[in-house]
Amino acid sequence: MTAGAWAELLRVSALFTVPGDALAGAAATGHRPGRGTALAVGASLCLYEAGMALNDWADRDEDAVDRPHRPIPSGRIAPGAALAAAGALTAAGLGLAAGAGRPALAIATGLAATVWAYDLRLKHTPAGPAAMAAARGLDLLLGAAATGTERRAAGGSGDGRTGPGERDAGRRGDTGVRAVRRRAGRARPGPATRTNGPLRAALPAAGLLGAHTYAVTAVSRHEVRGGSTAVPLAALAATAALATTGLRERHGRRGTATTGPEAEQTTGPSTRRPGRPLPPAAPAPRLLATALAGSYLATAGHPLLHAALNPSPPLTRRAVGGGIRAMIPLQAALAARAGATGTGLAVMGLVPLARSLARKVSPT
């Protein structure tokens, strides 16, 4: 077993398409990335690699016929080692998610279950593309939950820590403390509300990412034998719709969240009213979101068009690779669409790294 064989088994060139999921989820909550976001990124990377190892273990007999050069059928990696790696990476991913809070762990558990169900059972069924789309959507929601949990803890909402109001009341005596706590208890939302807020904010972005994943997965089912024109055409239409409609949905405003750093900078903590829409987006973020959507369309659309015109296995595999690489500008566009221009630019910085590594290790 060599490092090159493991790099091929784990599709390390596709790793750069993963961090943007959690970062786009964090942007959707209206908060800057933090420690919880970093833990979500680590969990996503581990679970993604677990899926890669498990995929080749589950497909080892099929690959022995169609892709004998892959690490397991070629004998460079033992099947048991690949399965053990999948299990260890899954455990590591869940452990990192646990560090980001119970909501993040719950979503990571669902993500891990979806990954294992896809590789072991659903991949070759009509439910395969939907399962893969659900996995990517859950990955984005993982970032939203981890970031939202961290921000709520930092703000003292429901974490059991004493806030400034209670400390002031403590100077006036125990009765004042109890009064402040009673008022806070009446005003504070319940656990379900606090948990679901960031997830609701991130659901539209998760849906868009899932739609793209569904289209790419549907094309990937024909990459060995080719022969399908309708599927790449449908994927191309979906890509165009996402770029021209979905990614522009929120161009009229910086985001829906009324809390977080963007809201504080825009309205100030003393004048912002709950539920009040944020002001219109500045021209620069709007132009950036448009440019990122264009980059996404070009990255995914060009190879899909070629595969539709000539559905040969090489061009179909190239279309799948393009769809995987297009995840990065899509994630960046989703972040910019939510008003997090810095996050969007940071995610786009992964493009040259992914492109460079893809020349050495295939992402498919």
In a domain, 182, yes or no: no
Pairwise CA distance, residues 294 & 247, whole Å: 10
Structural domain containing residue 62: 3-154+189-265+277-358
Within 10 angstroms of residue 223's Cβ, the number of other Cβ atoms is 20
Tokens of 4: 């090159």
- Tokens coding 223: 């990459």
Residues 94, 105 contacting (CB under 8 angstroms): yes
Per-chain mean pLDDT for the chain:
83
Is residue 258 scored above 90 in pLDDT? no
Q: How far apart, in whole angstroms, are the C-alpha atoms of residue 18 and residue 204? A: 18
**Half-sphere exposure (CA, 13 Å, Cβ side) for 69?**
5
In a domain, 162, yes or no: no
Question: Which tokens is 192 given?
Answer: 């379900």
Report d(CA 70, CA 73) in Å as an integer. Answer: 6
CB 67: neighbour CB atoms within 10 A? 14
pLDDT, position 137 = 97
What is the distance between the terminal CA atoms of the chain, rounded to a whole angstrom? 20
210-237 pLDDT, tens per residue?
A: 999 999 999 999 888 877 899 999 999 9
| Percent over 70 (pLDDT), the chain | 77
In a domain, 176, yes or no: no
Tell me: pLDDT of 269 over 70: no
In the block, tokens 């893809």 appear at: 358
Say how many domains are in the chain.
Answer: 1
- Which of these, 116, 130, 102, 123, lies nearest to 39 by C-alpha position? 102
For residue 175, tell me if it sits in a domain: no
Per-residue HEC secondary structure of the chain comes to: CCHHHHHHHCCHHHHHHCHHHHHHHHHHCCCCCCHHHHHHHHHHHHHHHHHHHHHHHHCHHHHHHHCCCCCCCCCCCCHHHHHHHHHHHHHHHHHHHHHCCHHHHHHHHHHHHHHHHHHHHHCCCCCHHHHHHHHHHHHHHHHHHHHHHHHHHHCCCCCCCCCHHHHHHHHCCHHHHHHHHHHHHHHCCCHHHHHHHHHHHHHHHHHHHHHHHHHHHHHHCCCCCCCCCHHHHHHHHHHHHHHHCHHHCCCCCCCCCCCCHHHHHHHCCCCCCCCCCCCCCCHHHHHHHHHHHHHHHHHHHHHHHHHHHCCCHHHHHHHHHHHHHCHHHHHHHHHHHCCCHHHHHHHHCCHHHHHHHHCCCCCC
Per-residue confidence (pLDDT) for residue 228, from 0 to 100: 81
pLDDT at 275: 37
- Is residue 179 included in any domain, yes or no? no
Q: At what angle do helices 19-28 and 341-348 cross, to 10 degrees?
A: 170
Q: What is the CATH classification number for the domain harbouring 44?
A: 1.10.357.140
Is the pLDDT confidence value at 253 over 60? no
Distance CA 219, CA 323 (A): 9
**Inside any domain, residue 160:** no
72-109 pLDDT, tens digit per residue, is: 999 999 999 999 999 999 999 999 999 999 999 999 99
Judged by average pLDDT, the poorest of 30-44, 249-263, 338-352 is 249-263
CA pseudo-torsion sign 236, 12, 122, 142:
negative
Asked whether 48 and 18 are in contact (CB, 8 A), the reply is: yes
Mean pLDDT confidence for 145-153 = 77
Average pLDDT, stretch 235-263? 64
Question: How far is residue 12's CA from residue 18's CA, in Å, rounded to a whole number?
Answer: 11
How many whole angstroms separate alpha carbon 193 and alpha carbon 148?
A: 12
> 71 pLDDT exceeds 70?
yes
Interhelix angle 19-28/128-154, rounded to 10 degrees, is 50
Q: Please report whether residue 319 resides in a domain.
A: yes
pTM > 0.95: yes or no: no
Average pLDDT over residues 239-264: 58
Mean pLDDT for 167-193 is 45
245 within domain boundaries: yes
Q: Which two structure tokens, joined as six digits, stand for 297?
A: 């369309």
